[in-house]
Amino acid sequence: MLPGGDQGPQTARWLTAEARGHDLEAEAAFALLWRSVPREAAASGLEARIWRATRRARLSRKLLSLLRSSAAAAALLGLSGLVLYVAAGVLTALAGRLVTGSIMWLMRGFVWVTIAFTEGLDTWSLLARVGGAVSAAIVTPRATTALILTELVGAMAFYVLNRVLAREKKEIRS
- 51 touches 59 (CB < 8 A): no
pLDDT of residue 7 exceeding 70, the answer is: no
DSSP 63: H
More confident of the two residues 171 and 83: 83
Per-residue pLDDT band at 156 (split at 50, 70, 90): very high
CA distance 4 to 76: 60
Per-residue pLDDT band at 173 (split at 50, 70, 90): confident
pLDDT of residue 35 exceeding 80, the answer is: yes
